[in-house]
Amino acid sequence: MYISRLALDHFRSWDACVLDFDQGINILQGRNGLGKTNIVESIEVLATGSSQRTTSMLPLIQRGSSTAVVRANVVENASEKLRGVTGNDKTVNGASPTTLEMSIHARGANRMRVNAGHALMMKDVQGLVSCVSFSPQDQHLVTDDPAARRVFLNQAGMQLDRQYGEILQRTRHIAQQRVALLKQLSRNDQFRRGESGQMSSISNGADTFSQPSSAVALSGLEVWTGQFIEAGVELTNRRKAIIEELNKTFPEIYRQLSGSPTIPCQGEAQLAYKPSFSEVLDQEHPFDDISAHFERIFRGELARGFNLIGPQRDDVEFMLNGFPAREYASNGEQWTLAIALKMSLYQALVGESGNEPIIVLDDVFAQLDEHRRAQIIHFASQQHQVLITVAAASDIPEFADAHIIDIQQVYDRNQYDGTMFESMIQTPIIHRSTEKTSDEGQIGGEAEVSR
pLDDT in tens, 227-236: 999 999 999 9
pLDDT value, residue 90: 38
pLDDT over 60 at 423, yes or no = no
Higher pLDDT pick, 94 / 112: 112
pLDDT value, residue 431: 36
pLDDT value, residue 154: 95
pLDDT over 70 at 429, yes or no = no
Higher pLDDT pick, 386 / 90: 386
pLDDT over 50 at 305, yes or no = yes
Rounded to whole angstroms, how far apart are CA atoms 140 and 377?
A: 22
Q: What is the mean pLDDT of the chain?
A: 83
pLDDT digits (tens, 9 = 90+) for 380-420: 999 999 999 999 888 888 887 899 999 999 999 876 544 43
Per the CB < 8 A criterion, the answer to whether 279 and 293 are in contact is: yes
- At 261, the pLDDT band (50, 70, 90 cuts) reads very low
pLDDT value, residue 430: 38
Percent of the chain residues past pLDDT 90, beyond the cut: 63
Q: Give me the sign of the Cα torsion angle 90, 95, 97, 100.
A: positive
pLDDT value, residue 123: 77
- At 17, the pLDDT band (50, 70, 90 cuts) reads very high
pLDDT over 60 at 98, yes or no = yes
Out of 4-18, 89-103, 201-215, least confident range: 201-215
Pairing between β-strand 358-362 and β-strand 385-390 as defined by DSSP bridges: parallel
pLDDT over 90 at 442, yes or no = no
Q: Give me the sign of the Cα torsion angle 414, 419, 420, 422.
A: positive
- At 194, the pLDDT band (50, 70, 90 cuts) reads low
Residue spans of alpha helices (H) in 163-249: 164-186, 189-193, 212-246
pLDDT over 70 at 29, yes or no = yes
pLDDT value, residue 368: 79
| β partners of residue 16 | 9
Rounded to whole angstroms, how far apart are CA atoms 294 and 310?
A: 10
Average pLDDT over residues 267-282: 94
Out of 7-16, 37-46, 86-95, 215-224, least confident range: 86-95
Element containing residue 443 per DSSP (H, E): none
Percent of the chain residues past pLDDT 70, beyond the cut: 80
Which of 61, 308, 266, 91 has its CA nearest to residue 182? Answer: 308
Q: Report the predicted TM-score, pTM, of the whole model to 2 decimal places.
A: 0.83
Return the SS3 of 200.
coil
- At 111, the pLDDT band (50, 70, 90 cuts) reads very high
Out of 30-34, 42-46, 213-217, least confident range: 213-217
| β partners of residue 317 | 272
* Measured CA distances, 148 to 54, 121, 141, 142, 154 (Å): 9, 24, 6, 9, 10
Higher pLDDT pick, 393 / 68: 68
